[in-house]
Amino acid sequence: MHSSFYLPLVNITPFLDDPSSPAAQQVIDDVRRACQSTGFFQMKGHGVPLKLQKSILAAAAKFFALPMEAKLALDARQNVGFRGYDVMETQSYELEFGAPQGQEAHVVRDIKEGFFISSDLPLDHPRVREGRFLQGPNVWPSKELLAPQEFRVVLGEYLSEMQRLSRVVLSLVAATLPYGPASV
C-alpha cells in the first residue's frame, strides 16, 4: 500500500510586508487551505535570520554535550516555572490504540532532552506569586560551563524572534477565520 503525504509550504513574506495587500490575501488563503486539509503547514519567508537559526542549533549542541550532572543541576522539575533542563524520558504518553480491550494503555516515554526558557519573570512578579503555569525566572548554566554569548544571549535572541513570529502566525491564522482582522 502506497500513501503520500503533502506538507504545505507557505511563504509568508507578503503577509509580513503588508497584511492588507492582495499578495497577503493569497498567503491567508494558502494558510486556510493548509489548516483545513493537513491541519498544519511549513513556513518560509518568516524573517528569522539564518545566522540565528544556526546559532541556536550550535548553542543547543554545546548545552546537550555537557556532562549529565551539569545539566541535572538545571533540572526544570526543580525550578519555579519549569525553567531549565528537561530530562530525557520525564514526559510520557499513553497510547490507547493497540491495547487489548480491558488492558491498560501502552506508555511511551518521550526520548528527547530539552531546555525551557520564556519571558524572564522575577520570583516577586504577580504571575509567579500566583503560581501561574510556566511563569518564573529563567535559569542558566554557569558562565564557566557555557559562555553567555554562546548560550544565554543566543537563546534570548531566539526567544524574542519566536515571540515575534508567534504573534505573526496568530494574526495570520486569525485572518483565515470569518471574524475579521485580529490585532494580536
Task: Calculate helix-pair angle for 152-175, 50-64, nearest 10 degrees.
Answer: 130
Q: Which three-class secondary structure state does DSSP give residue 11?
A: strand
C-alpha cell at 179: 471574524
**Alpha-carbon gap, residue 136 to 154, rounded angstroms:** 20
Radius of gyration (Cα) for the chain, nearest Å?
20
Residue-level pLDDT at 182:
58
Q: Are 113 and 74 in contact (CB under 8 A)?
A: no
User: pTM of the prediction?
Assistant: 0.84
Residue-level pLDDT at 111:
84
Residue-level pLDDT at 122:
95
**E strand or H helix at 9:** strand 9-11
Digit-coded pLDDT (tens) for 41-74:
999 999 999 999 999 999 999 999 999 999 999 9
- Lowest-confidence region among 4-8, 90-94, 136-140, 148-152: 90-94
Q: Which long-range contacts (CB under 8 A, 24 or more apart) does 132-135 make?
A: 134/81, 134/82, 135/81
**Alpha-carbon gap, residue 153 to 146, rounded angstroms:** 11
Digit-coded pLDDT (tens) for 88-121:
877 777 666 655 666 666 777 778 899 999 999 9
Q: Are 117 and 137 in contact (CB under 8 A)?
A: no
Q: Which residues in 19-170 belong to E strands, given as ranges?
A: 42-44, 84-86, 92-95, 106-109, 114-116
